[in-house]
């Protein structure tokens, strides 16, 4: 199949695959399905409704990841601006009556008939695709001119503003942090980057101060036991779950907190359920698995850099930053290190949109690995690409 001069899926032999990255992805996704089923089987009168839906999304996500793995990176590089515009259009469409769906006061979903799409998940990914292409086209200017730093941030800033309008403060913060970090890795001048961080920090503080429910969350985070019946409730119940689990856990399916006390145990607070049922050892295993997953992604980025595949390198770095920051914030919230924020644990939490986009992102990383390996094999002794 071809679009213009770009063949989307090649009939040739399958490209190379990073086995450890594939194994880690499968392990986290498989454990996530098991733990999500355990955490949700009692909901809505009992049954496997959530597990079946997650399994269907998992199957679709694997199919999409396979297709992305077979698709040349130059297709994504050429169409990056178009994907970003489509993402911005989706963020606007979510606010249109009859299209957007409001849940718990936030309008974050598009009603597609057979399913709902949380638009922040694909927008974060297409933003990284666009930004990777921008760094290839304007990398030199970025290192010399402050204006080159502002150009992509204007478009991404529009997206962040639309995310805050939903509101989805967590997705906006992750996207802006990942984009800024990627620009810094690309060699953007330090002073404008520091100025941007300061501006974002001031903006975040103001968003918390002037939004009562965010301020209440911060107060509940600072002293959860004094607010155990209101804003500190989720955090207190999560900490109780970790305490009940101890080193070895109470056993798979035996969590008490998920049954009566811990809300969102199958989504945002699934790590607390893992801590209760599998113990601190289970939580440590999750931490190690995510650390290894990110190491393989960043190693793939370095491999692409050595092969001279700039777009693939920046794309892999961007995906690693997105997944890493999301996982870090989710774990921090569960462990009481960060204020409560509605972000899922990648590959593990329940959520079709997030799971689909995580798997597509990992499919893109596998494609970066395949093309980098192919380039290095065809040109032995090639000098490393330097930013």
Report the chain's mean pLDDT, rounded to a whole number: 87
Q: Do the domain assignments include residue 359?
A: yes
CA 305 to chain centre: 23
Task: Give 103-121 pLDDT, tens digit per residue.
Answer: 777 788 888 777 788 999 9
Cα dihedral 221/168/107/156 (nearest 10): 170
In which band, very low, low, confident or very high, does the pLDDT at 369 lie, cut at 50, 70 and 90? very high
Task: Give 204-253 pLDDT, tens digit per residue.
Answer: 777 777 777 677 777 777 778 777 787 888 889 999 999 999 999 999 99
Q: Do the domain assignments include residue 28?
A: yes
Burial of 115 (0-12, 13-18, 19+ CB in 10 A): middle
Residue 262: φ, ψ to 5°: -90, 110
Q: Do the domain assignments include residue 94?
A: no
Residue 310 in this model has a pLDDT that exceeds 60: yes
Q: Do the domain assignments include residue 93?
A: no
Give the other-Cβ count within 10 Å of 176's Cβ: 22
Q: Do the domain assignments include residue 90?
A: no
Q: Do the domain assignments include residue 109?
A: no
CA 280 to chain centre: 24
Task: Give 162-187 pLDDT, tens digit per residue.
Answer: 998 888 888 998 998 899 899 889 88
- Structural domain boundaries enclosing 238: 16-81+120-378
Q: Is the dihedral of CA 232, 234, 239, 240 positive or negative?
A: positive
The per-residue DSSP string of 69-124 comes to HTS-HHHHHHHHHHHHHHHHHHHHHTTSTTTEEEETTEEEEEE-SSSEEETHHHHH
Q: Is residue 215 within 8 Å of 222, Cβ to Cβ?
A: no
Residue found by looking up tokens 């975040």 in the block:
204
Stated length of the chain: 387
Task: Give 246-287 pLDDT, tens digit per residue.
Answer: 999 999 999 999 988 888 889 999 999 999 999 999 999 999
Residue 3 in this model has a pLDDT that exceeds 60: no
Give the pLDDT confidence score for residue 387 in this predicted structure: 37
Q: Is residue 115 within 8 Å of 103, Cβ to Cβ?
A: no
Task: Give 318-332 pLDDT, tens digit per residue.
Answer: 999 999 999 999 999
Euclidean distance between CA atoms 279 and 286, whole angstroms: 11
Give the pLDDT confidence score for residue 270 in this predicted structure: 96
Residue 374 in this model has a pLDDT that exceeds 90: yes
Closest CA to 304 of 312, 292, 295: 312
The per-residue DSSP string of 74-87 comes to HHHHHHHHHHHHHH
Q: Do the domain assignments include residue 107?
A: no
Closest CA to 350 of 40, 22, 5: 40
For residues 67-93, average pLDDT = 96
Q: Do the domain assignments include residue 1?
A: no
Number of domains in the chain: 1
């Amino acid at each position: 199949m071809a679009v213009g001069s770009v063949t989307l899926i090649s009939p040739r032999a399958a490209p190379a695959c990073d086995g450890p990255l594939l194994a880690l992805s499968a392990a986290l996704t498989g454990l996530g399905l098991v733990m999500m089923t355990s955490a949700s089987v009692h909901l809505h009168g009992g049954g496997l409704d959530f597990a079946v839906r997650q399994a269907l999304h998992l199957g679709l996500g694997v199919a999409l990841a396979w297709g992305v793995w077979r698709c040349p990176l130059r297709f994504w590089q050429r169409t990056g601006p178009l994907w970003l515009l489509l993402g911005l259009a989706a963020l606007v469409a979510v606010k249109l009556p009859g299209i957007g769906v409001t849940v718990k006061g936030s309008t974050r979903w598009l009603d597609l008939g057979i399913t709902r799409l949380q638009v922040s998940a694909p927008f974060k990914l297409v933003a990284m695709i666009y930004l990777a292409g921008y760094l290839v086209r304007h990398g030199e200017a970025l290192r010399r001119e402050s204006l080159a730093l502002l150009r992509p941030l204007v478009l991404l800033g529009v997206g962040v503003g639309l995310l805050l309008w939903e509101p989805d403060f967590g997705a906006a913060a992750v996207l802006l942090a990942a984009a800024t970090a990627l620009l810094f890795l690309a060699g953007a001048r330090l002073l404008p980057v520091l100025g941007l961080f300061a501006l974002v920090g001031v903006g975040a503080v103001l968003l918390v101060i002037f939004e009562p429910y965010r301020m209440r969350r911060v107060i509940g985070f600072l002293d959860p036991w004094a607010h155990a019946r209101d804003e500190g409730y989720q955090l207190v119940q999560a900490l109780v779950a970790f305490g009940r689990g101890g080193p070895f856990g109470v056993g798979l399916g035996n969590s008490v907190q998920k049954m009566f006390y811990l809300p969102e145990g199958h989504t945002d607070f699934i790590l607390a359920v893992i801590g209760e049922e599998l113990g601190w050892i289970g939580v440590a295993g999750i931490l190690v698995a995510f650390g290894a997953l990110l190491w393989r992604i960043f190693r793939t980025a370095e491999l692409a850099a050595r092969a001279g595949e700039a777009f693939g390198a920046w794309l892999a770095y961007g995906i690693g930053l997105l997944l890493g920051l999301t996982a870090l914030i989710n774990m921090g919230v569960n462990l009481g290190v960060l204020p409560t924020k509605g972000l899922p644990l990648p590959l593990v939490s329940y959520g079709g949109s997030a799971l689909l986009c995580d798997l597509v992102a990992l499919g893109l990383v596998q494609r970066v690995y395949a093309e980098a390996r192919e380039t290095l094999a065809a040109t032995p002794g090639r000098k490393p690409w330097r930013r």
